[in-house]
Structure 1
Amino acid sequence: MNDLPTQPFKGTALALVEAAERLFGEHGIENVSLRQIRLEANAANNSAVSYHFNDREKLVRAIWAHRLPALDARRREMVDLIRAEGRETDAAAVLGALVLPNYELRDAQDVHRYAAFFRHALRWREGAEIRNSQLYSTPASGEAMALYFALRPDVSPDLLSYRLRHGTCTFFDMIFERDKNVAEGLAVMPEGEFLAEGLGMLEAICLRPAPTR
């Protein structure tokens, strides 16, 4: 199949997408074989991954396509609330609209599998390009990015996008580490404090003044 379906994934295709998300999040995009994904998904056909998705890049695109409807619906709610409350210049609110929908996606065990995947996908050599094409495919995401750019009109959109990509990678590393600590019974920062710290870190990284030359 050369094109991703326009309808939600079902059956084996869904099992492969969810297995890939788990394994990519745990080990990295390039450190997981397509065979491992097939086995994780309990797919009997040895060619299941290549049949449904052709290759690794299309599988990464499929994970984003699978998650995008829920992410966009939540981001729409957040952007609309920002505008209704006149908080367009509130950095925490704007950055929250960009990253908190991702954070809020949890599996049945309350683990942030998508956030774990996301941190590797943005570091993967093709990941930033794929993510940029997905991000602007939905109006809510585009509006959230426009609000973000407007916070620092003195900084170029390219530099702001660069900062956001690397800042979010770090933020999702923090989420992954927190989930691991919770699973091991270690003490963690309360969720509210943790999110405030993460958004504060993002603000410090992303909204620095324009560099002087």
Structure 2
Amino acid sequence: MDPATDPANGTRRRLLDVAERLFAEQGIHATSLREIAAAADQRNTSAVAYHFGTKHKLIEAIYEDRLTATTARQLELLDAIDAQGRGKELRALTGVLVRPMVERLEDPGRPSWFLRFVVNAMYVEGIAPNDLGAHPWTRGLLKLHSRITHCMPELPDRVRENRWEFFIGLLLHTLAQRERVLQAGADLGEQRLLAADLVDAGVAVLTAEVSDTPW
């Protein structure tokens, strides 16, 4: 059977989309697998377990589904800046991180709750894919993390990691909010301006002067 017309694939896709939305709107712990199956119009309340196994495996499948294309785009952009001789420039690397995530907001073909899902998942222990080397769909982030942190050799190791975490948090929360208001019908103007602002903010966060004292 053609995978594109396989009913099982259609059911799996429906379950992924519904799970992404409910996890984003209600939270990870507050959403049950039975509720996801019911919201996806599945008579069999064990449909999620049949297709994915556990809730953790379902969550991993959502990440893989969305981040596979993002990683491919990141690697494509990395190749482009390498060809331009800019592969070690912080601003260019920050743009490679930001651009595919902003482009996601412009995709009219498939509504997304993914960024809101990711923000929710950040606060659930053991859910977010923090080990960037563990999956092929985080390979782009792994390369970007390595290159970006190496652009700040003057900063102590702990400060560099803090700056990375600060910027990722800023990026995800900003785009999750933008995803929400765009889906509600708001017109927030040119997305390229948003991307440029996020790159500027990212570079500023990553390279801010380190104070001599914490207060």
TM-score bracket, shorter-length normalisation: 0.7 to 0.9
Deviations 1:91-150 (A, max 9, x none): 23212222432332355466543222222223322234x242466636544322221121
Q: Deviations over 1:156-184 (max 9, x none)?
A: 55653443344323322222322333344
In the alignment, the residues of structure 1 paired with residue 203 and residue 127 of structure 2 have an alpha-carbon distance, to the nearest angstrom, of 23
Counterpart of 2:82? 83
Provide the C-alpha distance between the structure 2 equivalents of 1:192 and 1:118, rounded to a whole number of angstroms: 22
Q: Distance in 2 between matches of 1:105 and 1:140?
A: 16
Q: Is the 8 A contact 1:21 1:63 kept in 2?
A: yes
Q: What residue is the counterpart of 1:5 in the other structure?
A: none
Aligned partners of 1:99 and 1:168 also within 8 Å: no
CA RMSD of aligned residues (A): 2.9
Instruction: Report the TM-score when normalising by structure 2.
Output: 0.77
Q: Distance in 2 between matches of 1:13 and 1:185?
A: 28
Letter of the 2:93 counterpart: V
- Contact 1:71–1:101 (CA<8 Å) still a contact in 2? yes
Residue pairs, 1:6-155, within 5 angstroms: 10-106=9-105, 108=108, 111-128=111-128, 130-133=129-132, 137=136, 139-155=139-155
Do residues 188 (structure 1) and 212 (structure 2) align? no
**Equivalent in the alignment of 1:4:** none
Q: For the Cα contact (< 8 Å) 1:135–1:141, is it kept in 2?
A: no
Question: C-alpha displacement at 1:79, in angstroms?
Answer: 0.6
The alpha carbon displacement at 1:29 in A equals 2.3
- 1:29-57 CA-to-partner distances (Å, cap 9, x unmatched) read 23322223212322221111223333222
SS in 1 for 2:29: helix
Normalised to the residue count of structure 1, the TM-score between the two structures is 0.77
* Alpha-carbon distance, 1:185 to partner: 4.8
Letter in 2 for 1:168: I
Which 10-residue stretch deviates more, 161-170 or 54-63? Answer: 161-170
Larger radius of gyration: 2
Instruction: Tell me which residue corresponds to 2:164.
Output: 164
Q: Determine if contact 1:182/1:188 at 8 Å carries over to the other structure.
A: yes
Measure the CA separation in 2 of the matches of 1:173 and 1:60.
19
How far the C-alpha of 1:80 sits from its partner, in A, is: 0.5
State which drifts further: 157-166 or 58-67.
Answer: 157-166
> 4+ runs of 1 displaced by more than 6 Å?
none
1:152–1:33: structure 2 CA closer, same or farther, 3 Å change rule?
A: same
CA gap 1:201/1:189 in 2 versus in 1, 3 angstroms: farther
**Distance 1:206-1:35 versus aligned 2 partners, 3 A rule:** farther
CA distance in 1, matches of 2:23, 2:133: 18
